[in-house]
Homo-oligomer: A and B are copies of this chain.
Amino acid sequence: MASHRPVTLRKEPSQRRSKDLVDIIVKATTRVLLKEGYEGCTTNRVAEVAGVSIGSVYQYFPNKESLVVRVMERHQEKLFAAMSEHLATLQDATLEQAAKTLVRAMLDAHRVEPRLHRVLREQVPRIGALKALHERYSAYEPMVTAWLETHRDQLGPSEPGVATWVLIAAVDGVLGRVLVDRPGWLEQEQLAQELERLIVAYLRGARA
């Protein structure tokens, strides 16, 4: 969804050996984040887990934050890939289909690497370079708003912009809680149905 410009790197690895090294370091960072959380994700520990020298880490990564940025970028690329497939079919969908599509998209995104997703969203602080990354999580919002705008006639009283926002925040909130409290539900069909009903009901609108 965005081109690969690794502003995170201090120096571009040119030889094969060093490209592998960078990859190993990023994967080690992921593993440490998973096992020790963000607090326990220290640069020395990452080097240790990666089986490389701390000096090698700083050869390519300017600071600790850039390690996590890299992990988030990679994860988000996978998320967007998983979601794009679904969302491509959104525009011509009926309300029921659209709800189904959106739910499948968001569910699939949360299924890519649930535990990593949880750590990244829960623990990684929204400061500095990481803040912008966090905001990119809902980069697909405009696609939903676009759909709502072209199907305005079928909808209740909410404005498309607000409705998109509420909808995504609600579904995302549920999925976030599922990730934390009921990880098993991610694979349950019932959850998907419940969310679809939530969306359809809300969008069709009800007097309140």
Contact = CB atoms under 8 A, between A and B. Distances in A.
Given A169-B173, A208-B99, A194 B158 contact: yes
A202 B156 CA distance: 13
Given A126-B122, A173-B177, A200 B206 contact: yes
Contacts of A190: 162
A201 B37 CA distance: 38
A193 interface: yes
A12 interface: no
Contact of A208 (B126, B180, B193, B207): B193
A197 B204 contact: no
A162 B169 CA distance: 19
Nearest to A168: B177
Interface string A44-80: 0000000000000000000000000000000000000
A172 interface: yes
The contact size tier of chain A is 35 or more
Most chain B CB within 10 A, of A37, A162, A202, is at: A202
Interface string A180-193: 10100000001001
A126 to B, nearest CB: 7
A156 B204 CA distance: 15
A165 B180 CA distance: 13
Contacts of A99: 208
Contacts of A174: 166, 169-170, 173
Interface string A146-181: 000000000011100011011001111110111010
B197 A202 contact: yes
Contacts of A171: 170, 173
A163 B182 CA distance: 14
8 contacts: A126-B180, A162-B190, A170-B170, A170-B174, A172-B173, A173-B177, A200-B207, A204-B206
